[in-house]
Amino acid sequence: MNLTESYNQVKKSIVAFLPKYQPLYKKDDKPHEFPPIIGTGFIVNENGLILTNDHVLKVFNKLWHPPDAAPDDWGVYVMILHMLSEGQVEIPLEVTGVFEITQFTPGKAYYGPHKPDLAIVHVKARGLPSLEIDDSPIQEGIEVATAGFPMGTDALRAPGWLHQITPTLQCGIVSAVLPFACNTPHAFSINVMTQGGASGSPVFYPNTGKVAGVLYGGLFDLGFTNKKDVYKVPTNISYVVPSHYIKRILSTALKEPAFSEPCDGLSIEEMIATKTLHNVIEEGRQPEIINLKTDTDSEISITKFIRQDKH
């Protein structure tokens, strides 16, 4: 399998997180032609489990909610892009709950963050295309690829209008295993520049399409203006949560009783056939599946599941 072939499979599972509601401050304000993307995720279980970063999850409660929003309304929806023979469809999925790591107990020799930057979002759907996790040891120099939404909607609207409706693919190598080569590193770095919106992107092996980790941050340099104001400059060193942590949080999440019950969500095919959506799109975006055609025809000890009364 080459990169083109593996990416054709991987991108089916990549999703974007977008605000459900966009306030209009003036009567003549127009809704965004494409809502701002706040982060990336990817499907890790066919019955609605999506992996992303914990810091992406933290943004959910900061989003604007209308006064009459329900207490269990997360104010965010998950967008998955699905290709048909007629063109591409944009399908919003309803968020029903999230998993976050509430306690992390590292070993005696640990050099990483206070907990892995991981979270799982649960959406109301079933039969989703999920990615396989490869927890074999990470090796320096091995080729990897990543895809997501760096710079969010800004990249999709680069010329001033919406001209891209896909994730962005990048590739490189494993630059370093942190803190050193071992079976359970706390992170590894890759020589791919990351920017806001790409957090939560899968890092995968081009020859298999299996996930090696999830992108969570980057190394920044400092620049100075003529007035000596300081600004951050992204570098091509980015950091990844390795797959052995993904395996652990996923195994914990799957023990949640909510997943022992039959899933009442629809599959993508059923959503397309019935055009039935469960979430409310912000004013100005029609609550229907939108056809997009071209002109040419260590140990995670506790994981908390949140469903209600998140505030």
- Quote the pTM value: 0.85
Give the list of residues 6+ apart from residue 111 with CB closer than 8 angstroms, or none. Answer: 178, 179, 186
Segment 282-309 mean pLDDT: 44
Q: Is the pLDDT of residue 116 over 80?
A: yes
Write down the pLDDT at residue 277. Answer: 43
Residue 283 vs residue 22, higher pLDDT: 22
Is residue 293 exposed (0-12), middle (13-18) or buried (19+ Cβ within 10 Å)? exposed
Whether the CB-CB separation of 294 and 44 falls below 8 Å is answered with: no
In the chain the beta strands, taken as DSSP E runs, fall at 14-19, 39-45, 49-52, 76-84, 87-104, 119-123, 143-148, 168-178, 187-190, 202-204, 211-224, 230-242, 290-292, 300-306
More confident site: 262 or 79: 79
Beta strand 49-52 pairing with 300-306: unpaired
Lowest average pLDDT, out of 127-141, 191-205, 281-295, goes to: 281-295
Please give the residue that has the higher pLDDT: either 30 or 97. Answer: 97
Model pLDDT, residue 245? 95
What average pLDDT score do residues 90-105 get?
Answer: 90
The overall average pLDDT reported for the chain is 85
Q: List pLDDT tens digits, range 199-237.
A: 999 999 999 999 999 999 999 888 888 888 888 888 999
In this prediction, what percent of the chain has a pLDDT beyond 70? Answer: 83
Q: Which residue is associated with the tokens 């891209």? A: 164
Q: Please tell me the predicted confidence (pLDDT) of residue 222.
A: 87
**Total length of the chain:** 311
DSSP per-residue letters across 166-213 = S-EEEEEEEEEEESSS-SS-SEEEES----TT-TT-EEE-TTT--EEE
Residue 279 confidence class, pLDDT cut points 50, 70, 90: very low
**Mean of the pLDDT values across residues 249-275?**
80
The string of pLDDT tens digits covering residues 30-87 is 666 678 899 999 999 999 999 999 999 999 888 888 888 888 888 899 999 998 887 8
Using CA atoms, how far apart are residues 174 and 183, in angstroms rounded to an integer?
A: 15
CATH top class, domain 3-306:
mainly beta
